[in-house]
Structure 1
Amino acid sequence: MDRYLAFDIGGTFLKYGVVYEDMTLFETNKLKTPNSLEGLLRAMKEISVLYKGVNGVAVSCPGAVSGEGIIKGSSALHYLHGPNVKRLIEDRLNVPIFMENDAHCAGYAEFWKGAAKGRKDVLVMVLGTGIGGAVFKNAELHKGANLHGGEFGYMLLNSEVQDSNDVWSRVASTKALVRVVAERKNIDVDSLTGEQIFTMAEAGDEVCLQALDRFYHLLAVGIYNLQYIYDPEVILLGGGISAREDLIKKIDEKLDGILAVVDLAKVKPNIEACKFKQNANLFGAVYGWLKEFDCSKVAPI
């Protein structure tokens, strides 16, 4: 059976795995995302050497990915923006590369064989270092006039705009959660992880509990806005945090509170976790590769 090497370039981790054409995952691993483009290319090359004989390489990454391979917009990895990253990866790995925005990849996976299969109007949110998104209308990906369709993370939640720190990604991402807790505990932000915050909260840490409560509220506010902008059938949540079994329940509770106050709102957002959770980006990148290079193996979504 054909197999494909997939990379998910994130602001915190570079994830990778081998995906079979039937969408089974042979193995997956991750390492801290290198702090330079050369470091990233070197790491991807070293990983690809370990998996010789794959049929193709698919890449999920942040930012607005153009057809030619230039990543527009902005992200936590500033070095991705400007050069033709796709071409650089192809030259280094010496194989044809499919590259697409991470949230778009997550959406592809969910429409292919996941929680969006059989649906038409869907929003996908990827929660991580920032907040990414994808818009699907009639089961077709909508990229927008400037390739920014679905960039929910740029949404403003504060009407008194001071700077870029007021955008949704900077206040309601997992990176924002870590920053808030680090500041309140007066510790180095690099010494703390989201996983540690959840563990400390479960042990009763008041700072972590309060930060998580605010985190869930801010996510719910943005999701409420998205529901009334687009009115999708479902809003799917992906990213590493989507693996937490209580995520949907906590956000759902905050949505109930918002709807109780805003009595004009009668439609409650239907939120679900991506079926493939933290691996959705890897699977979706492979779907994109098959769609571009071997469409006989995938049916249109």
Structure 2
Amino acid sequence: VLDGRIHRGRHLLGGEFGYMLYGNDDTVSHLGTIVNAADRYNRANGTDLDGKALYELAKTGQPLAQKAVRDMLQVLATTIFNLQYSLDPDCFVIGGGISQNSDLLADLNQALDVVMAKVEIAPIRPIVRIAKFQAEANLYGAAVNFQQHQRSR
């Protein structure tokens, strides 16, 4: 959202941050989501966990699960940091299923601490919030988008 309106961009790709590359390895959507972190964990460990179960396992202290979640959070924190210094928004709002995790905000802020420590000249710390409608945020966003589109006709 830019200036109170959903930003689509010329090619309708505005806000598709998951397409961004993270290093030379892969896309943010592949490395920075709990669903894909669980998929990588499952392939490496012969398990069948979803993202919620992986996060819960990490909280019990299981080292490989902790690493999977920590790596995902670091990608997400780095992406948020980079977007802060590209777009300079007021804040970042996290929605989707992961936003229902009560530990997410604290864990993501810890990952942001790591990123901020690497770039001492960066004066602004990104502000991250959880979407009011959490996992249903995309549905409400679609409704607002529809309303805005109808008004502009």
In the superposition, the TM-score normalised over structure 2's length comes to: 0.89
Paired amino acid for 2:90: E
Q: Which residue of the other structure, out of 234, 254, 268, is the alignment partner of 2:91?
A: 234
Q: Which residue of the other structure, out of 167, 170, 173, is the alignment partner of 2:30?
A: 170
Choose between structure 1 and 2: higher strand proportion: 1
CA drift at 1:291? 5.0
Instruction: Report the CA distance shift for 1:289/1:140 in structure 2 as closer, same or farther (over 3 A).
Output: closer
* Cα distance in 2 for residues equivalent to 1:140 and 1:290: 11
| Residue 263 in structure 1 maps to residue 120 in structure 2 | yes
* Cα distance in 1 for residues equivalent to 2:51 and 2:7: 31
Contact 1:238–1:274 at 8 Å: present in 2 too? Answer: yes
Paired amino acid for 1:174: I
Paired amino acid for 1:208: A
Choose between structure 1 and 2: higher helix proportion: 2
Contact 2:92–2:127 at 8 Å: present in 1 too? Answer: yes
2:109 aligns to what? Answer: 252
SS at match of 2:120: coil
| Residue 212 in structure 1 maps to residue 69 in structure 2 | yes
* Cα distance in 2 for residues equivalent to 1:168 and 1:227: 15
* Cα distance in 2 for residues equivalent to 1:270 and 1:217: 16
| Residue 281 in structure 1 maps to residue 141 in structure 2 | no
* Cα distance in 1 for residues equivalent to 2:97 and 2:16: 18
1:47 aligns to what? Answer: none
Contact 1:184–1:207 at 8 Å: present in 2 too? Answer: no
Q: Which residue of the other structure, out of 14, 17, 21, is the alignment partner of 1:156?
A: 21
CA drift at 1:192? 2.2
Contact 2:6–2:145 at 8 Å: present in 1 too? Answer: no
SS at match of 2:6: strand
CA drift at 1:290? 4.8
In the superposition, the TM-score normalised over structure 1's length comes to: 0.47
Q: Percent identity?
A: 31
Q: Could you list the runs of 5+ residues in structure 1 that have no partner in the other structure? A: 1-135
| Residue 146 in structure 1 maps to residue 146 in structure 2 | no
Q: Deviations over 1:159-204 (max 9, x none)?
A: x35xxxx11111111222112211331x15xx32112112222332
Q: Which residue of the other structure, out of 222, 245, 250, is the alignment partner of 2:79?
A: 222
* Cα distance in 2 for residues equivalent to 1:222 and 1:289: 28
| Residue 193 in structure 1 maps to residue 50 in structure 2 | yes
Q: Could you list the runs of 5+ residues in structure 2 that have no partner in the other structure? A: none
* Cα distance in 2 for residues equivalent to 1:156 and 1:288: 27
SS at match of 2:21: coil
Which residues of 2 match residues 13-162 of structure 1 at below 5 A? 136-158=1-23, 160=24
Paired amino acid for 1:156: L
CA drift at 1:274? 0.5
* Cα distance in 2 for residues equivalent to 1:196 and 1:233: 32
SS at match of 2:132: coil
Q: Deviations over 1:31-84 (max 9, x none)?
A: xxxxxxxxxxxxxxxxxxxxxxxxxxxxxxxxxxxxxxxxxxxxxxxxxxxxxx
What is the RMSD computed on CA atoms of the aligned residues?
2.0
Larger Cα Rg: Structure 1 or Structure 2? 1
